[in-house]
Chains A and B, each alone.
Chain A
Amino acid sequence: MAEARLPLRYRDYCAHLLIPLNKCRHRTITTAPTQTTSSLHSLSEDEQMMKDAVSRFARETVQPLVSQMDEAEQMEPSIIKGLFEAGLMSVETPAKYGGSEASFTSAILVIEELAKVDPSVSVLCDVHNTLVNTVFRTYAGQHLKDKYLPMLSEDKLGCFCLSEAASGSDAFALQTRAVKDGDHYVLNGAKMWITNSAEADIFLVFATVDPSLGYKGITCFVVERDMGVQIAKKERKLGIRASSTCQLSFDDVRVPAANVLGEVGKGYKIAIEILNEGRIGIAAQMLGLAQGAFDCALPYLFQRKQFGSYIGDFQGMQHQYAQIAVDIEAARLLTYNAARLKEEGKPFAKEAAMAKLYASQVAERASSRAVEWLGGVGFTRDFPAEKFYRDCKIGAIYEGTSNIQLQTIAKFLSKEYKA
């Protein structure tokens, strides 16, 4: 593209704008002449059908149990079973392994619809689909795919074991050790904050085969519960209480060498790449949460009258819920766009970070407002708003804290704009 011919004084002021496009690493948006564009609201027929099916499942099967699961801090086994039977635990898995072989956006829609009703159920489904299943599909050797993908589609829950007490954001400072012993590895160490672990049978465990190699020693192992994984402690949490979050301990756990997923020393790569996708999943969860909170509060605004008017008709309230609706729509578009970019095979890591960051912020604003709009009743446990408010906080923390997301976005931007 030719350099723009601008009058001299403009060129002095705006030199940076004249960096020729071929030197600018900023990705340009191009539309091929024959490509049709559509809004991010457009879903394929399959995606729409899936969305409706999950929405119904969430309302009819999950909704009645949400409150009691939160009080008991326990996921009902019937919900997990129901998720498997409805095919929601193998959305992208190929049909030959028992999956639905659907698009990534379908998985995102599943996570969003579940979160509208219960973010705890949503995260269980999200971790299993976007972290566990995808790791197997993308990086595992054929023997591991053949063995584990059917199990993960049928009835075995998976979890992703990366974080430790001394390594959260600094994930690659992990210390769990894997020592080779004949045709086995012996795992020793402890993991923290592991979602799904109380109910899981299949654990993707990141351990180092050689600490002196730094992150290049990190290896991903497929560990089955009866190889000796122990739940050291189940955390008592502020929110998503029905989702089990546990400390795990590995005490001389023997894992067959065949269960190394991918290559030895390449575990860090798996972790980085998969967390990019997982981010879009969490964005979807937070999006669903925000929408669920909004949907539970708005009808009330047109039922409750004070001073002779519906409270939803007071301008102060109108401005508030209009703003939240805008925020939710923006979060939705960020999330769906990141998902579509990934489906198109285009770079999406920056957009995924943006989606997760923003959606978690919107979830907090929306759920906070929802409690306020419901007034006194919003503060009681009889109404869903307070649970959404408690649940939203984790969005800014797990699968990459908000500060980490900002850092990630900034790194991309500095690469784009540095001459």
Chain B
Amino acid sequence: MSSLRILVGVKRVVDSAVKVRVNSAQTGVETANVKHSMNPFDEIAVEEAIRLREKHGKDVVQEIIAVSCGPAKAQETLRTALAMGADRAIHVKTDDNLEPLSVAKLLSKIIGEEKPSLVILGKQAIDDDSNQTGQMLAGLLNWPQATFASKVDIKDGALEVVREVDGGLETVSSSLPAVVTTDLRLNEPRYASLPNIMKAKKKPLKTVSPADLGVDIRSRLQTLRVTEPAKRQGGKIVASVDELLDKLRNEAKVL
């Protein structure tokens, strides 16, 4: 099998354990002084890259590159990726709000330079739940895509992925290079052990700007308002199916 380079995208998001609150301007959630960490699906992506290297050996998986687009603090997330086992990191530094299309454009430029054979992204970020970047990236690169992966393997230079879809499991195969997005059950990410956290300090981390890459990251979307969901009401016990239908139609107005 010829050697390949894997590129993994990681995003710094509000930690999944945090109880988020809408900010006073109603433009988003409160992120100041709130715990942040790597997007859980991205952890799974990094873990999968490392497992592929452990399975096929360093001759096959030559290099794992972690990439993150975001403000200065995104470097913490990259260091976590390095501590988990990535070889080097690239930070596209910007304080602007990034949309999936912008991220896909930035990644495609980097991919043009770094030439990986496999790109693994989380299926979506837990802050915006967009589930778009992987698919848009594949479109921009004109590469095959295998999304919602619950199993990934490389066999004879080809990619085989089991996808979790509504109907069950779908196995697809594609040539490389390709884009894969990870789903929850793909793997259980490892802890960065303390020695690896210290070793991560010595691994290369390059910083570039969107201007360096010649990418226009202006938003195409404007968020009008962010509000909390309606407070949960108590439930009611209904006596018959007819009463249920009546309530769903006339009170909850969902039919």
Contacts and interface: CB of A to CB of B under 8 A. Distances in A.
Tell me which of A48, A53, A57, A99 has the highest count of chain B C-beta atoms within 10 A of its own C-beta: A53
Interface stretch (A80-88, A155-163, A319-327): A80-88
Interface in B89-107: none
A343 interface: no
B191 A57 contact: yes
Contacts of B178: none
B187 to A, nearest CB: 15
Nearest to A99: B195
B76 A91 contact: no
Nearest to B197: A49
Given A49-B76, A49-B80, A100 B191 contact: no
A100 B195 contact: yes
A95 interface: yes
Contact of A100 (B37, B76, B79, B194): B194
B152 to A, nearest CB: 24
Interface of A: 45-46, 48-50, 52-54, 56-57, 85-88, 90-91, 95, 98-102, 106, 110
A85 B194 CA distance: 9
Nearest to A100: B194
Interface in B48-86: 76, 79-80, 83
Interface in B183-232: 191-199, 201
A53 B195 contact: no
A46 to B, nearest CB: 6
A99 B193 CA distance: 11
B201 A53 contact: no
Contact of B83 (A49, A95, A101, A102): A49
B194 A88 contact: yes
B116 to A, nearest CB: 26
B126 to A, nearest CB: 16
Interface residues of B, number: 15
Given A45-B76, A45-B79, A53 B198 contact: no
A86 B194 contact: yes
Nearest to A91: B194
B191 A53 contact: yes
A53 B79 contact: no
A381 B79 CA distance: 40
> Main secondary structure on chain A at its contact with chain B?
helix
A95 B83 CA distance: 15
A49 B196 CA distance: 11
A86 B191 contact: yes
B194 A102 contact: yes
Nearest to B37: A52
Interface centre among B76, B79, B193, B194 (most CB of A within 10 A): B194
B49 to A, nearest CB: 19
Nearest to A93: B195
Given A46-B198, A100-B198, A53 B76 contact: no
24 contacts: A45-B79, A46-B201, A49-B76, A49-B79, A49-B80, A49-B83, A49-B192, A52-B37, A53-B83, A53-B191, A53-B192, A53-B194, A53-B197, A86-B193, A87-B196, A90-B194, A98-B195, A99-B195, A100-B193, A100-B194, A100-B197, A100-B198, A101-B198, A110-B194
A53 B190 CA distance: 10
B30 to A, nearest CB: 19
B43 to A, nearest CB: 11
Contact of A87 (B76, B79, B194, B201): B194
A131 to B, nearest CB: 19
A56 B196 CA distance: 16
A49 B37 CA distance: 10
A313 to B, nearest CB: 19
Interface string B147-191: 000000000000000000000000000000000000000000001
B195 A50 contact: no
A152 to B, nearest CB: 14
A50 B191 contact: no
A52 B199 CA distance: 16
Contacts of A86: 191, 193-194
A332 to B, nearest CB: 18
Nearest to A98: B195
B195 A46 contact: no
Contacts of A101: 195, 198
Interface in B13-58: 37
Contacts of B201: 46
Contacts of A95: 195, 198-199
